[in-house]
Amino acid sequence: METHALLSQLKSSPMNARRTNRLVDIPVLAALIKSQGLLQNLVVRDNGDGAYDVIEGERRRAAIRLLVKSGDWPKDRLIPIKVLSDGHNDTEVSLAANLGRVDMHPADTFEAFRHLVEDEGRTPEAIGLRFGYAASTVRGFLRLANVSPRLMKAFRRDEVTLDQMRALAITDDHKRQETAFYDSPEHLRTPRSLRRMVMEGRIEANDKFARFVGLTAYEEAGGQVTRDLFGNEDEAYIEDSGLLHQLATAKLEAKAVELREEGWQWVEIHLDLAASGLWDHPKASRSEHGFDSDSDAARLYAGVILGIERDGTLAIHKGLLKPEVAKALKRATAKGEQRELPAPEAKPESVQFSATMIAELTAIRTMAMRCELAKRPNLALAIIVHDLALAAFYETWEHDEKLTEIALKLTDVASFIENGDGDKAVSERRAVLEDWASRLPSDVKELWPWVIAQEESALLELLAILVAGTINLVTSRGEKPSARATSRDRLTTALTLDMTRWWRADARFLSRISKAAILAALAEGVSPKIAASLSQGTKGDLVPAAERKLAKSSWLPVVLRTPKPSDDQVDVAEAEIGHDQPERVE
């Protein structure tokens, strides 16, 4: 019998079979009931005194009690219940309700949250409020939903653990994720090892330079930080090592200015104290050199070395003597010739500028360089090819050689293609990249001399290959097919793209679509009569027959068809035909 009861009438039952974890995640359940309502009746036994023992639904009762306490559920609101008849056994009912449940696979949870964000425009904060999660937890789910489709399938088959997925999700690069997992022997697929592999070339947030500069200062300067949403707050990675070292140097230089104003003979900055020769510089002492290291006399002969300790703290070593000066002072002191100490070196006459002044002067120089480069298109071509090639063919840690702020985003489009190794376009693209990788210098420092030595035709050929790698018009899961339609149509039309040269409706494609879709393709690409004649068989029989029929046609799915060009696109295509194509340069 179904009826209603007040919360005050519902009591905990000793016959409830669930004893362990009965009250786990009650706040989450309370948030769900608050946002979605009570979707399921509580199953109860009438105890005969106007109250009901909850046989199934104790967690929902606890969640409603929490909502009443927070003021989100009126005390007098009636709760739907199902009252057991005498023919039911309380323990059996409770046991059956719990044994019959199967939790959602985590992958389903991740993708459902992504649907709420991408298709319904929800924010992580809004989702968290409705489902009882912190916004950071929701962001973690979204990060996991973006793991490589290949790894997600393996995760569903329990071939990848949740901890491994969390480690791989720290990067959005599907190729890095798959390489780290599949190229590693099983014993090296620990979360820690996988995280280290996908973030290879990045600087950890606990690195001495990161500690010295501080993540806040680095981010305020425009630096990007990749954070591990599933680790502790310290697990983060610096993406721009060049900027980090620049900030560290600037911070040291600011301190060096203060030290020079104290009157020291010399001040040296060393990012790496181990390579500074620190221990080759003896500290001045009265017994050996005739004065203490912190005396006024010391400033005439001695200097300072400053750098960064292993723990990221500032290291300042004052009163240090150059080896040759230390020897001369030691000889004079040993002979008692204090009045004949060697004359101190003359200090450099150049004025030491503040960091602000240096920034202004270098900004003026940068503007001058922009003006000069604007007059030299050939050099501009060489510069852009250099920086694009640097991003495409060299390791991340070698990107300090960049000449500009041009950023290249390279999406592994092949990862969206099942059995991409067998795809014609994927194979041709990889062959082209391998060819150019063999022609470029292996040492990144030789890339710029190589680039400026090339003919314009070679640079244009390489530029076309590099720019081609930036095209990404993949319609991802959750993205509307009409998104970026203008960009897609302009490019396919300008390229006069004929996808029949690159794709055909083979058995691999046909086996992955519905029978109705196969028949529709036959009706459109061959004839409605042929489609009707094949409609009575099974899909297994239909696939090879459809492959043979469609092989003789030029049928393409709508998503692969190149639209008729608009007037402005025709003008672009005609203008391009008038240009000579550069010859391939070896």
Average predicted confidence (pLDDT) for the chain: 82
Answer for the pair 264, 318: CB distance below 8 angstroms, yes or no.
yes
Answer for the pair 229, 139: CB distance below 8 angstroms, yes or no.
yes
Q: Is residue 546 part of a domain?
A: yes
Domain count, the chain: 4
Calculate mean pLDDT across residues 111-136: 86
Give per-residue pLDDT as tens, 260-311: 888 898 998 887 777 677 888 899 888 888 888 888 888 888 999 998 888 8
- Asked if 80 and 41 sit in the same domain, the reply is yes
Q: Is residue 408 part of a domain?
A: yes
Q: Is residue 78 part of a domain?
A: yes
Taking the CB of residue 240, how many other CB atoms lie within 10 A of it?
20
So what's the pLDDT on residue 523? Answer: 92
Sequence-separated (6 or more) residues with CB below 8 Å from residue 97:
43, 56
So what's the pLDDT on residue 355? Answer: 58
Chain-centroid distance, C-alpha 464:
26
Confidence tier at 92 by pLDDT (50, 70, 90): confident
- Asked if 321 and 388 sit in the same domain, the reply is no
Q: Is residue 479 part of a domain?
A: no
Calculate mean pLDDT across residues 151-175: 90
So what's the pLDDT on residue 585? Answer: 40
Answer for the pair 133, 27: CB distance below 8 angstroms, yes or no.
no
Among 290, 325, 344, the domain-final residue is 344
* Helices 191-198 + 174-182 axis angle, to 10: 140
Token readout for 63 is 């969640």
Confidence tier at 236 by pLDDT (50, 70, 90): confident
- Asked if 276 and 318 sit in the same domain, the reply is yes
Q: Is residue 294 part of a domain?
A: yes
Answer for the pair 460, 584: CB distance below 8 angstroms, yes or no.
no
So what's the pLDDT on residue 402? Answer: 79
**CA 270 – CA 347 distance, rounded (Å):** 20
So what's the pLDDT on residue 410? Answer: 73
So what's the pLDDT on residue 391? Answer: 82
- For residue 298, the enclosing domain spans 262-344
Confidence tier at 586 by pLDDT (50, 70, 90): very low
So what's the pLDDT on residue 573? Answer: 47
- Asked if 465 and 500 sit in the same domain, the reply is no
* b (16+ CB within 10 A) / e for 21-56: eeeeebeebbbbbbeeebeebbbbbbeeeeebbbbb
- Asked if 389 and 435 sit in the same domain, the reply is yes
Answer for the pair 532, 545: CB distance below 8 angstroms, yes or no.
no
**Residue 290: burial class (beta carbons within 10 Å; 0-12, 13-18, 19+):** buried
Among 79, 99, 119, the domain-final residue is 99
**CA 208 – CA 312 distance, rounded (Å):** 4
Q: Is residue 215 part of a domain?
A: no
- Asked if 340 and 382 sit in the same domain, the reply is no
Calculate mean pLDDT across residues 226-237: 70
Q: Is the pLDDT of residue 351 over 60?
A: no
Q: Is residue 454 part of a domain?
A: yes
- Asked if 445 and 501 sit in the same domain, the reply is no
- Asked if 450 and 501 sit in the same domain, the reply is no
Look at residues 244, 270, 176 and name the one whose alpha carbon lies nearest to residue 399.
Answer: 244
Residue recorded with tokens 């503040």:
354
* b (16+ CB within 10 A) / e for 294-328: eeebbbbbbbbbbbbeeebeebebbbbbbeebbeb
- Asked if 419 and 498 sit in the same domain, the reply is no
Confidence tier at 63 by pLDDT (50, 70, 90): very high
Among 425, 443, 472, the domain-final residue is 472
Least confident window among 79-93, 250-264, 305-319, 328-342: 328-342
Angle, CA of 321, 327 and 329, to the nearest 5°: 75
Give per-residue pLDDT as tens, 254-270: 898 889 888 898 998 88
Angle, CA of 212, 214 and 220, to the nearest 5°: 135
- Asked if 385 and 458 sit in the same domain, the reply is yes
Angle, CA of 314, 317 and 320, to the nearest 5°: 160
Look at residues 343, 338, 324 and name the one whose alpha carbon lies nearest to residue 286.
Answer: 338
- Sign of torsion, CA 353 358 360 364? positive
Q: Tell me which of 422 and 285 has the higher pLDDT.
A: 285
Highest mean pLDDT of the ranges 177-191, 311-325, 345-359: 311-325
Token readout for 566 is 């608009």
- Asked if 38 and 71 sit in the same domain, the reply is yes
Q: Is the pLDDT of residue 583 over 50?
A: no
- Asked if 73 and 39 sit in the same domain, the reply is yes
Least confident window among 276-290, 322-336, 438-452, 476-490: 476-490
**CA 33 – CA 27 distance, rounded (Å):** 10
CA neighbours closer than 13 Å in the CB half-sphere of residue 310: 1
- Sign of torsion, CA 28 32 37 38? negative
So what's the pLDDT on residue 413? Answer: 76
Q: Is residue 167 part of a domain?
A: no
Q: Is the pLDDT of residue 183 over 80?
A: yes
CATH code for position 42: 3.90.1530.30
Calculate mean pLDDT across residues 113-126: 86
> First and final CA of the chain: distance in angstroms?
85
Residue 509 per-residue DSSP state: H
**CA 180 – CA 178 distance, rounded (Å):** 5
